[in-house]
Amino acid sequence: MVGSLVATAFWAMLPAYVPNNAAVLAGGGRPIDGGRTWDGRRVLGDGKTWRGTAVGTLVGVLLALGLNAVNAPLSSALGFSLPTFPLHAAVALAFGAMVGDIGASFIKRRSGRERGAAFPGLDQLDFVVGSLLLAFLVAGDWFLSTFTPGVLAVILVITPLLHVGTNVIAFKIGAKDEPW
């Protein structure tokens, strides 16, 4: 029971987890805010680029399609049904994760934090809120049948742990400038 909840939560959120990591590897180029400032501070900063956002979204969507392709054999091996991703839900999860992260940078800049500064709590959950909110808005029925209260509770626990873990690894291998 707990095992299937954790597996379902992890599986359902993979298309939301991977885009931010893909953006780290793909980042660079023109910043989304074009260098513009607001009240003397960058609107978003150099850490939010068009290329990182586009590649991150694309990787998340392609991952969801890949998960769909292996869903049936894996579900039957596990003895319970893992969720499948309709295309609009996949796009919402992946793009929503990027938008949540961009929104967090907007908040960080308004609160005086420079690019790369840590904002504990926001850093770990921005993309979850963005992906779940967008998925709810564009794929409401799918959202409600996939993200049951139990699955949502598991997501709130495992996401910060996974986020901290992957960022420490990304930092150690030199893919990220800070371990958060």
**Helices 2-26 and 87-110, interaxial angle, to 10°?**
60
Q: Taking the mean position of all CA atoms in its chain, how far away is CA 99?
A: 9
Rule CB under 6 A: is residue 57 a binding residue for ligand CTP?
A: no
Task: Choose from ligand CTP, K ion, none: what does 55 bind? Cβ within 5-8 Å by kind.
Answer: none
Among 8, 91, 101, 143, binds ligand CTP (CB under 6 A): 101
Q: Which residue has the tokens 């990787």?
A: 59
Rule CB under 6 A: is residue 27 a binding residue for ligand CTP?
A: yes
Among 48, 130, 159, 163, binds ligand CTP (CB under 6 A): 48
Determine contact, residues 15/167, Cβ cutoff 8 Å. Answer: no
Rule CB under 6 A: is residue 16 a binding residue for ligand CTP?
A: no
For ligand CTP, the binding residues in 103-162 under the rule CB under 6 A are: 105, 108, 115-117
Would you say the C-alpha torsion 13, 19, 20, 21 has a positive or negative sign? Answer: positive
Q: Which range binds K ion by CB under 5 A, 7-15, 75-83, 95-103, 138-146?
A: 95-103
Would you say 49 or 124 has its CB closer to ligand CTP? 49
Smallest separation, CB 166 to ligand CTP (Å): 11
Binding region for ligand CTP (CB under 6 A): 23-24, 27-28, 45, 47-49, 52-53, 98, 101-102, 105, 108, 115-117, 176
